[in-house]
Copies of this chain bind each other. A is one copy, B any other.
Amino acid sequence: MKNRLEQLRKERGIKQEELAAILEVSRQTIGSLENGRYNPSIVLAFKLAKFFNLSIEEIFIYEEDSDEK
């Protein structure tokens, strides 16, 4: 699962810490998502989509059979 979070966040000109505060998660969670250490929960994916005014599919790119859960 890839995502465009770092790019989108930088386009908005905000820090990881600010985005984290808005979404009510930790800065480390944002950093971990941007760097692909894990996938977001579906609830966090919805929050991110709402914040960036995009669909989940426009932010997260699901790659078939990159056999992750």
User: Which residues in A have some Cβ–Cβ distance to B below 8 Å?
Assistant: 1, 39-46, 50, 55-57, 60, 62, 68-69
Select A46's contact among B41, B43, B55, B62, beta carbons within 8 Å: B62
In the A-B complex, the 9 residue pairs with the smallest Cβ-Cβ separation, listed nearest first, are: A46-B62, A56-B56, A42-B42, A42-B45, A39-B42, A43-B69, A43-B68, A40-B42, A55-B57
A41 and B43 contact, CB distance less than 8 A = no
Chain B residues near A41: list those with CB within 8 A: 39, 41-42, 69
- Min CB distance A27 to B, Å, is 17
Chain B residues near A69: list those with CB within 8 A: 41, 43-44
What's the Cα separation between A5 and B10 when bound, in Å? 36
